Each structure stands twice: as C-alpha cells, then as structure tokens.
Amino acid sequence: MRRRSFIITVLTASIILWLAVSTTELHGQLPPGIPRGDVVVVTAAELGRIPNPEWGNIWVPGIPSGITYIFEPFYYYNETESNPEKVLIPCLAAGLPEYSSDYTKLRIRIKEGIYWSDGVEFTSDDVVFTIQLINKTDGFAGTSFWRRWLKNVYAEDKYTFIIELKHPNPRFHLMQFTEIMAAGSLRIMPKHIWERVEDPIRFPFFPPVSTGPYKLKDYDLNGYWFLFERREDWYRSGIGKTFGKPKPRYVLRVYYGPREKELIAQAKHELDFMEVDVKLLQQALTQNPYAAGYRIGWPIIRIDAGGHGPAYNCAKYPFNITDVRWALTLAINITEVDIVLFEGRAGICTFDAVSNPFIRKIFLDLYLPWLRNFTLPDGYKPFDETIPDRIAEWAKAQGYEIVGNIRDLIGDGWWRYDPKKAAELLERHGFRRDENGMWRLPDGTPWKINMIASADHPLLSVLIFGVADQWRKFGIDLVVETLPAALMTKRWQLGDFDVAVVCPVAVQTADIWRHYEGYHKTYYKPLGEVATGDQNRWINDEFSELLDRLAGIPPFTPESIRLGFEAITILVRDMPWTNLFFGSKALIVDNYVWTNWPLYPTNWYWEMLYWNPVWTQVMFVYIRPTGNVPSSELYVEYVKVWFIRDVPSFIGVDGASYGPYKVGDSAILPKNDAERFITEGLASYTPPTYIYVTVYAEKNIPAFRGVDGRSYGPYKPGDAMVIPKDDADRLVAEGLATYTPAEITEIAKTLSDIVKRISNIETSLSGLIPSIRTELSNTISSLENSITNLKNSVDTLSNQIPSITTTTMAMNIITIILVILAIIVILRKK
C-alpha cells in the first residue's frame, strides 16, 4: 500500500525519522500529523522484524505477517468473567452456537450490519467460502484439521451458516471460532476478493481488507513497524457492535530490537505496552513513576497458560527413546534455573500446562496425588514437591515479601534434580561417558545436540541458555542457535532441529481437547514437510484415542475433566517435551498517555497480552486517555441502550452514523445521544419488559412487528394470539381482534337453550301423567347428553384458553345441579 498524498508522505517520513528506520536510535519527537494522545504504541517483540511487510496471507504457515490487528473472531472467551454463562462473548456471531442433538451439526448466526473495511457487507457466504477454500487447498494452515472434521458447510441464509461434521463434536466452536487469549481462531477471508484469486497460496492479500475496527494505514518497508487507523465506520465491525469504540485512533506496533531499547522508549513515554526481561523488571518500574507491572505484589509478573521448555524431535535418534527424554529432564536443576534467570518469579509447570493459574484448581486434586505416586517403569519416583519452598526461602532472603501460599503463586513442584538417575537411564541404552566426562552415543561418537529457540521471544531466548548450561554440566555437547522468529517457525514446522525450546501448548481452559488436539497422530508429517500440528513428531496411539473420546463429550463436564487428566498422564509418562515454566511475562504498561489497563487483581476486566492483536484490540475499547499529552480526539463515553420506539438514522455527537433502529433493538451509543433518546421516551438503559395477553382474530391480520421488536402473524379469523398488550389493545380498537373468543358466545347461547328446556320440563311436570313418563325420561336423557357435550366443549376450550377456567368450573357446577334435578324428578314420579 503506497500512499501518494503529501500528508501521508509526511506521516511516513516522520515515523521513519522517529524510529530511525532500523530502530538503532530512539527519538522523543512524535511524527507530525499524529498527536501522541491519538496513538497507542505496542511492542511487536514476539514477531521481530517482518522480512516481507507486504505479505498479508496469514493462512499460509511459516511466513510471518504484521497485519494481524485487523481481524476479529466469532467469539471471545473471557477468562476474567466469573459467571460461566457470560464467559463466551459473541463478536462476529449474533448469539451462542447451536448444535444438533448428536453434535454433528453446528449452526452459527452472524451479526447483521458488519462490513468489510472496503464497504462490502460481511455475510455467511464469506464464512462458507473461507472454510471450503482452506479445506480444498493443500498448503494452508488448518487444511488437515478441516479435512478431518468437515463433512459439509453451507449458508442457511445471508446471516446463518451450517457446519456438518464427520464425527460428533460438542466443542467445535471452541476450536475454530473462539479466541481464547493467545489461542487464535479461524480468520475469515473476504469472498469478493479471494474468489478471483488463481493461486491462493502465493496471493499476498495486500493491502488487506478486514472486518475489524482498525485497518492498515502504513508500514515500514524494512518491516520494523505497522501503523493501523481506526475505521470511520468502526461501529460496523464486530468489536464495535459488541464492545464499543476503541479509544486510540491509531495503533503503532513497533519492533525496537533489544529489550534495553524498549526500556528507554517507555521511560520517554514513547512505548505504552511492552514486555521486558525479568532481570530488567525492577529497573523498568523504578525509572518511570508511571510504569506498572501486571500484578500487584511479588512475583509481579504475569504467569501465562503456556508451558515453555525443550521439545524433543521424536522422529530423530536418540530422542525417540523415552528414557533419553527422561534423562535429559532429570539433568535439569529447575530451582537453579529459576533463580538465575528469573529471580525465582517464574511459574512452574508442575503437571505440564494443565497446572497453570487459570485452571489449576480444577485439576489439582487429580494430578497432585497422581504425581506423588507416579513412578518410572523401574519404580523410581521423580516428583519433588519441595521445590516451591526452596524458591520461597531464597526470595525471602532477598527481601521480597511473599503474601499468600507460595504454591498458589508459582506452582506445586517439579521433577527431581538427579544427575545420577539420569546417567543410569542413558547407560541402560548403551550411552557412556568418555575420559572427560562427556557423553557418547552407543556407537562411540560424541553426543552433540542442536538446540534452537526464537531470538525475539523474551522468555525462550533466555531459557534456551539456562537449559543448555544444565546439560553441559551433565556432560553433553550442544550447538545453541537463537533464530529470528520467521526462521525459527520454519525450522520448527519442518522438524529441522534436535531440541527446540518452545511453547508446545497453552491451556487456557479446562477443555484439554481444545488445546492438545494438535498433537493427535493425524497431524504427523515426515521430517522435511511443513507440520502445522505435532511439530516435534510425537506419536502415541493411546493419547490419540483419548482425544477421539474427548471429542464426542461436551466440554467442562466431570467426564471430560477426568479423561483430560488421563490424557496428560500419558504425556507426562512419555515426556515428548520438558515444560519448565509457564510464560512468565514481565509486562509493563505506561500510565502517562493511557490508563485503565487491566492489571491484576484490582482492575482485571480482560487478560492483558500483546502477542495476539486480535485479543488485544478489546483492551483498546476500555483504556482511557490521561490528558497529559495533546490529542485531536473528542473522547466520548459510550453506553448501551434499548429502543422502545422506532428511531431513524442519525449522526451521533462523535460524528458517526447510527441507525435506523426498531423497537427492541439494542445499540452502543455516545452517552449524550443515549440520554437524549431516554429523555424523549425513545430508549431505555434497561431491556424493556412487556405484558403479554391473549386476544382472538376477528378478521385477517397480516404479519406485523410488535412493540417488543418481534415478528407476529399472519393470523386468520378465530386464531388465538399471545402478543404484547399494547399491540392487543390496538388491534381490538381497530376492530380486528377481541379479548373474547368465539367459543364463549356459543357457550352462552347453549346455556340459554338449557335454561329454556329446564323451564319446559317444569311445565311438563306440573301436568305429568303416567303415559308420558317414558317420553320425559328420554327428554332428560337427551338433556344429559347435551350437557355432557357442552362440558366436553368447555374442557377443550379450557385447554386452549387459560383465561376461561372460571367458566369451566361454573359449567361443571351447572351440570351437576341439572343431573341431580333430573334424578329427583324421575324418582318423585315413580
């Protein structure tokens, strides 16, 4: 995207000057044209420099892209919400997913009125097209997944799509359509662009088109920064309709290089949100009085849901041997690594990633007893639950105040540091040490391990050296490579490594299947082929079978928790990777330009992370400007209202277009506009309540929209209608309906006839002679039949119309009286 206008040229040049292109220098002067108060500046450390900034085809794996602030999901899963019924938040979706009774069909309705950033409406056709294209195209991320599960996908109507599955799966929406912190979801392609593409794998999708509230405005040709601008029609995005207007007009995503440069930038209020090495945490907090860490109190850092550690290439010898993987695990002193690298603050992966702070309490009573009794095949017990106590003792000795249970803060324990046992496991398979104490393979050649990690990842780039140091002490020769993020991803997917220090899995919810499904044996690829799942080539039939069983069980149920726990015991036993620490993020925000960040626990309204921009965008709706710096924005407070009268289109105080709205619609509006509508009796801050009554159509009534916003009709004469009272009164006043059903009139007529016949009986009785007794008996019998038929008619009507219960009771009483009267008359004449 090349801007040719003078203003954009100046803007681009200014940003280049500000960042000095290669970011080798930092300048305090902001680019002309963008007041500091208009832009939130966020680190792009997890991406590093983007080699090809004009690449937006995020569906092709292994090629990094800097455009991801433009997408949004169907659902968000909000971990900070305590009410389980409110955890799943529809964004692009209009409501919760609907499954068939056998969980083989999924229906999702999308919100109406969402538009792509180029002005084309977003519909179910875009969703169907995206899924079909991924499913049929070799080389896309997700192709293997969709081929495994998809039977059919089609649009039921303009705003509804249906997915038919090959196998039952009650959690499919969590896997493909829900954003759960760092765990992404399906990104939808604009059909009107992609349907003209001949080669979807090579198509750059640049400049990109999106449904999100931000669009790409400019970028650095060297791949160091990307500038996003809030759309003028932000209210036609899923996030805009769901959460409201993002406060910053611009988002600047910057890669500064070394963390020390980010530290300098934030001290000068040029970087609002970043992550530093734990060793730099205290410096970041003390040099800037406006800086704040994620957590109040020790350990200050944010402990994430993802486990981090060495993942073994199980398709390569000797890492295909379980004892070898366990030997390498027992050769690591995690207490030492934590203290040296992270000042004891890191969260420990006790039971793989399942013991993270978000779901630990759900599984604790299952995994802790199991770990205490777990043994290797020879009976050795490797679990050590004293490690947190040793770390706590060290932290207290450094002067840190630890409030609360140390296990709640950093974890429940880890594996013993036992080099002697590790040596025993290796020797069992023919390994031996040479005269220098270095390990040799069974064939006598020196054992040299190639280790790789991302140079741009703040934790992994440090952890790789901590692990390498432990293994060198144990007598293993290593080649350690820290790689640019793009190259690291490529080698990880191709299997071009011996050991990769990575985050193999992040477990944000108690639904194990959602997070470990990528390690099903279905996703195995031979070395040299791109694997988008099971990248370390571990195959375990028992694990895959448990995942298959889990897939058909509703998530978050006791049975799914139990089976999920069993699956992780298999993984722990096999040790395809050795997760040491959860993502222990030294996140720092600067409150000088923006405030109201979601800090734990006092303001924890959203999980704070920067490495998934689709997640981060929601946070931008809630942060607030401080007013400390100039801004061109008129900041407006937004509120949600419900309309109780029809309202035509209007321009809000923020200059945006709204409406039209019908009765029953809800919308997020500027507070000034909302209060005006409420004053005029057109809207309410609370959902309206309606009284519903039953009326009966006397004439044909066409379909109409009720005062509650729902559609009713059409109706024919005699039809019963349960509708809002305001609508009922209107139809009655117009002579189209009545509150009295036609059956009531017929009953009244029948009662009159019965009374007349009783009068005739009394007259007959006064001059009764024996010769007509038989005729009278027949008359009474006929009368009883009439009464019985009347009672049956009333019973039928009472089942349909609750309002005539009293009439039914009266008919029963009359029936009894008349039958008794008839019996008395007959007996008297006998």
Secondary structure, 3-state, 395-429: HHHCCCCCCCCHHHHHCCCEECCCHHHHHHHHHCC
Asked if residue 11 has pLDDT above 50, the reply is no
Measured between alpha carbons, how far is 237 from 114 in angstroms, rounded to an integer?
5
399 & 496 share domain: yes
Measured between alpha carbons, how far is 436 from 474 in angstroms, rounded to an integer?
11
Q: What is the pLDDT of residue 4?
A: 35
CATH number of the structural domain spanning residue 647: 3.40.5.50
Region 700-717: what's the mean pLDDT?
87
- Please, which pLDDT band fits residue 803 given cuts at 50, 70 and 90? very low
* H/E stretch holding 452: strand 448-454
Measured between alpha carbons, how far is 609 from 275 in angstroms, rounded to an integer?
9
Q: Which of the pair, 103 or 656, is modelled with greater confidence?
A: 103
Q: What is the pLDDT of residue 83?
A: 85
The 3 state secondary structure assigned to 764-799 is HHHCCCHHHHHHHHHHHHHHHHHHHHHHHHHHHHHH
Q: Locate the DSSP E strands across 231-380.
A: 250-254, 273-276, 291-293, 302-312, 350-353
Region 198-225: what's the mean pLDDT?
96
Measured between alpha carbons, how far is 588 from 291 in angstroms, rounded to an integer?
6
The pTM assigned to this predicted structure is: 0.70
Asked, for residue 551, whether it belongs to a domain, the answer is: yes
Asked, for residue 404, whether it belongs to a domain, the answer is: yes
Q: What is the pLDDT of residue 451?
A: 98
| Cα 688 → chain centroid | 29
For residue 542, give both structure tokens. 């028992």
Asked if residue 21 has pLDDT above 70, the reply is no
Pairing of strands 214-219, 624-625: unpaired
Q: What is the pLDDT of residue 134?
A: 97
117 & 68 share domain: no
Asked, for residue 727, whether it belongs to a domain, the answer is: yes
Asked if residue 767 has pLDDT above 60, the reply is no
| Cα 193 → chain centroid | 27
Asked if residue 146 has pLDDT above 80, the reply is yes
Q: HSE, CB side, 13 Å, CA atoms: give it for residue 157.
A: 5
Asked, for residue 820, whether it belongs to a domain, the answer is: yes
Asked if residue 793 has pLDDT above 70, the reply is no
CATH number of the structural domain spanning residue 381: 3.10.105.10
Least reliable range by pLDDT among 351-365, 616-630, 708-722: 708-722
Task: Give every CB contact of residue 135 below 8 A, 6+ residues apart in sequence.
Answer: 143, 146, 147, 150
CATH number of the structural domain spanning residue 129: 3.90.76.10
Region 165-176: what's the mean pLDDT?
94
The residue type at 779? T
Under 8 Å between Cβ of 254 and 45: no
Q: HSE, CB side, 13 Å, CA atoms: give it for residue 406.
A: 20
Tell me the C-alpha to C-alpha distance, in Å, between residue 452 and each of 12, 215, 438, 537. 36, 35, 21, 16
232 & 262 share domain: yes
Measured between alpha carbons, how far is 527 from 583 in angstroms, rounded to an integer?
28
The residue type at 156? E
Asked if residue 818 has pLDDT above 70, the reply is no
- Please, which pLDDT band fits residue 508 given cuts at 50, 70 and 90? confident
Measured between alpha carbons, how far is 497 from 480 in angstroms, rounded to an integer?
11
68 & 80 share domain: no
Give the three-state DSSP class for 762: helix
Asked, for residue 241, whether it belongs to a domain, the answer is: yes
Measured between alpha carbons, how far is 394 from 406 in angstroms, rounded to an integer?
12
336 & 394 share domain: yes
469 & 341 share domain: yes
Give rounded-to-5 percent helix, strand, coil for the chain: 40, 20, 40
Q: Phi, psi (5° rounding) for residue 697?
A: -70, 130
Q: How many residues does the chain have?
A: 830
Measured between alpha carbons, how far is 738 from 385 in angstroms, rounded to an integer?
76
757 & 733 share domain: no
Sign of the C-alpha dihedral, residues 98, 100, 104, 107?
Answer: negative
Q: What is the pLDDT of residue 522?
A: 93
How many domains does the chain fold into? 6
| DSSP character at residue 700 | -
Burial of 259 (0-12, 13-18, 19+ CB in 10 A): buried
Asked, for residue 1, whether it belongs to a domain, the answer is: no
Under 8 Å between Cβ of 463 and 309: yes
- Locate all alpha helices (DSSP H) within 277-382, ordered by sequence: 281-287, 322-330, 334-342, 360-373
Region 630-641: what's the mean pLDDT?
84
Measured between alpha carbons, how far is 636 from 639 in angstroms, rounded to an integer?
10
Asked if residue 802 has pLDDT above 50, the reply is no
Asked, for residue 494, whether it belongs to a domain, the answer is: yes
Q: What is the dihedral of CA 738, 740, 745, 746, to 10 degrees?
A: 110
Asked, for residue 617, whether it belongs to a domain, the answer is: yes
R_g (Cα) of the chain, nearest Å: 36
660 & 679 share domain: yes
Q: Report the 10 Å Cβ neighbour count for 149.
A: 18
Q: Report the 10 Å Cβ neighbour count for 312.
A: 27
| DSSP character at residue 601 | T
Q: What is the pLDDT of residue 407?
A: 94
Q: What is the pLDDT of residue 82?
A: 81
Q: Which of 160, 194, 228 is the last residue of a domain?
A: 194
Closest CA relative to residue 688, chosen from 660, 726, 652: 726
Q: What is the pLDDT of residue 277?
A: 81
220 & 274 share domain: yes
Measured between alpha carbons, how far is 187 from 74 in angstroms, rounded to an integer?
9
Q: For the chain, give the mean pLDDT.
A: 87
Measured between alpha carbons, how far is 217 from 225 in angstroms, rounded to an integer?
11
Q: Report the 10 Å Cβ neighbour count for 138.
A: 8
The rounded percent of the chain whose pLDDT value lies above 90 is: 65
Region 44-54: what's the mean pLDDT?
87
Closest CA relative to residue 35, chosen from 686, 722, 635: 635
Q: Which of 194, 222, 251 is the last residue of a domain?
A: 194
- Please, which pLDDT band fits residue 817 given cuts at 50, 70 and 90? low
For residue 556, give both structure tokens. 């978050």
Q: What is the dihedral of CA 29, 35, 38, 43, to 10 degrees?
A: -10
15 & 29 share domain: yes
Residue 484 sits in which domain range?
302-582
Region 142-164: what's the mean pLDDT?
96
Measured between alpha carbons, how far is 314 from 307 in angstroms, rounded to an integer?
18
Beta bridge partners of 303: 584
Q: Which residue has the tokens 């649009």?
A: 155
Measured between alpha carbons, how far is 419 from 421 in angstroms, rounded to an integer?
6
Tell me the C-alpha to C-alpha distance, in Å, between residue 52 and each of 55, 71, 223, 808. 6, 19, 7, 81
188 & 83 share domain: yes
414 & 541 share domain: yes
Q: Which of 194, 218, 247 is the last residue of a domain?
A: 194
For residue 788, give both structure tokens. 């019985």
For residue 104, give both structure tokens. 């083989």
